Each structure stands twice: as C-alpha cells, then as structure tokens.
Amino acid sequence: MIHPHRFKDQVMVVTGAAQGIGRGVALAAAGEGAQLVLADRSALVNEVAQEAAALGAQVVVAEVDLETFAGARSMVAQALECYGRIDILVNNVGGTIWAKPFQEYDEEQIEAEIRRSLFPTLWACRAVLPAMIEQRAGAIVNVSSIATRGIYRIPYSAAKGGVNALTASLALEHAQHGIRVNAVATGGTEAPPRKVPRNPQALSEQEQLWYAGIVEQTRSSSLMKRYGTIDEQVGAILFLASSEASYITGTVLPVGGGDQG
C-alpha cells in the first residue's frame, strides 16, 4: 500500500474481480479507501467482497455477464443506485481460452475469444460513459496484454489489440469531458490456479506443448526473463486510476519486464 487514502470517497468499479488481478485490484483499492463495485459472473466475487469489507470498504457486488451489454448496464445501474456516481472503472475481464496455432482454431472458438477479451471492455466503457460525461470526470483503466505480439493465441491477441485501439480513441474523444482512459498491457503474471478455469477441458499432450511454447516465448521476450506478480500489475493499474496520473491519458503502459508487446 503506497497511499492509505489515495482513493478515499471515490467509487471504483472493478470487473473480473473474483480472482487473479481483479481480486488484487479490489483488495488494494479497499485498503486505500475506495468505495467498491465488484463485478463478475462467478459467485466467488462475494468472497472477495467480504475480504474487501473486512478492510473497511463499502462494497456492492454485481453478478453479471459482461460479455453482454445488458450485463454492463446492470453493473452500472447498481453502482449509480448505491453511490450516485462512478469515479473509476477498471476493466479486467479477459484471458485466452485456448493455446494453439491460429489454423487450429475453429470459427466458434475465434468468436468465443473475442467475446471474452474484447466485448466486456467495450460494453463496460459504453455503459459507464453517460454517467462520467454528466459528472465531467472519470478515469478508465483497461487491462490489455503484451500478447498483442505473441504466439499461439492470435484471437486473444486481436482482442487485446482492439482494447488498445479502444483506449486510444476513447481518450481522444472524451478528454473534453474530463475523462482519462488508459490501459495496462500486462505481461506473463504468476497467479494461483484459477478457481473457475477459462477452459474446463483437460489439455491434450499437443496442447500442453503449445502452452509451454507460450510460456517460453513470454519469458524470453521479457528483458527480466521472468513472469511478473499480481502486485506488480496492480501497482500500475492503480497508479493510472489515481490522481497521480492526472496528466496521462490515451497511454498503453506495458508491464512485462521490458517486453513492449
């Protein structure tokens, strides 16, 4: 924790908050005084809400499917009903489902990857904008990835490239409304095993080899030759969300040990 009161009296919406980086953002922000809306389609988000409340935060849980605009609108409506405003939106939903060469993906898998890693950010930004425009203030931090230049997950890479373009264009369009929009391009990140796996099917021997290729490429592309930690990603996300970054917008910050993506 850098500043115990950095987000005092600010309303922060965190998507994908049930585990991983989203959980890390939620708990760190709770410790720094934020009032929280934690969104996820997994009921596990309620456990994170309890952890955040134990740190003294006021917390609202939105169990929604952010692959749909209806889910994003419901999340924003719950936030506004409780707090009357939204100061910060952290878009964290996403993550590759399959690991294999592009020619091995079928049509349904490609569409599923785009729905998973682009649409939740797109929908959440669209849903929150009217409130931020009306209050003429707000900060959006999108979680992207250095995998925009990577192997064996091309649909995911394309989705995160879309997140980067969305970030730049929204920043240009809405700076006039006092809204800052930035992204953190996360590198490989060490995390506990997912409680809800993105792909529940066991990997075949060939798929394990392809996934090992991703790990090797990620480490070799990092100048530091390692994966990062959740805390290292959270620190960058919360910096861009905070007033310390008040003159930064339209930026994609790579946090990948020197890999620029």
Say how many residues make up the chain: 261
Is residue 227 annotated as part of the catalytic site, yes or no? no
- Phi and psi torsions of 237, nearest 5°: -60, -45
Q: What is the DSSP letter of 106?
A: -
**Active-site residue identified among 83, 105, 152, 156:** 156
Residue type, 66: L
Which tokens go with 238? Answer: 């919360």
Tell how far CA 68 is from the center of its chain: 16
Which tokens go with 144? Answer: 């992207």
Compute the distance between CA of residue 162 and CA of residue 43 in angstroms, rounded to an integer: 28
Compute the distance between CA of residue 256 and CA of residue 189 in angstroms, rounded to an integer: 9
Q: Please give the positions annotated as active site.
A: 156
